[in-house]
């Protein structure tokens, strides 16, 4: 996503700084000290808010590890969590593979997925 697209969904430098300062809610994945992915959750809203992996590192398990880390943080506070993503995307396939379901179409080609605490 571009900076403008991220900003349109609320991912701004200010929003990230506020979220990170309030609770442990953001993680990065690194390879040889290079950031290759990151994830963020909204702990108050039980939402996996953002998860991105550089294209050249997709398919290596980084997204799965970041998702599981987010799930642990969310399920410490909530019995269920949710996320929104583009239907048909690699991300949607990953989340479904990791047990996210109860799929609801929310418009513009996006879906909402939910997962219950194990």
CATH of the domain at 20: 3.40.630.30
Query: CB-based burial of residue 67 (10 Å sphere; 0-12 exposed, 13-18 middle, 19+ buried)?
Result: buried
Distance CA 49, CA 104 (A): 17
Instruction: Note whether 112 and 104 are within 8 A (CB).
Output: yes
- Does 72 score more than 80 pLDDT? yes
Per-residue pLDDT at 6: 77
Parent domain of 50: 3-116
Specify the number of domains making up the chain: 1
Least reliable range by pLDDT among 4-8, 9-13, 16-20, 98-102: 16-20
Tell me the per-residue pLDDT of 11-70, one tens digit each, with 9 for 90 and over: 787 877 776 666 678 899 999 999 999 999 999 999 999 999 999 999 999 999 999 999
How many other CB atoms are found less than 10 A from the CB of residue 16?
A: 18
Least reliable range by pLDDT among 1-5, 55-59, 101-105: 1-5
Of 28, 114, 113, the C-alpha closest to 75 is 114
* Token pair recorded at residue 29: 């994945």
């Amino acid at each position: 996503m571009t900076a403008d697209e991220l900003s349109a969904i609320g991912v701004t430098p200010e929003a990230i700084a506020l979220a990170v300062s309030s609770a442990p809610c953001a993680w990065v994945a690194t390879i040889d000290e290079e950031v290759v992915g990151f994830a963020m959750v909204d702990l108050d809203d039980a939402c996996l808010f953002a998860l991105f992996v550089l294209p050249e590192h997709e398919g290596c398990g980084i997204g799965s590890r970041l998702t599981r880390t987010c799930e642990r943080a969310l399920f410490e506070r909530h019995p269920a969590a949710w996320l929104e993503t583009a239907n048909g995307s690699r991300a949607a396939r990953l989340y479904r593979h990791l047990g996210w379901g109860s799929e609801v179409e929310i418009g513009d080609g996006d879906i909402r997925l939910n997962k219950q605490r194990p």
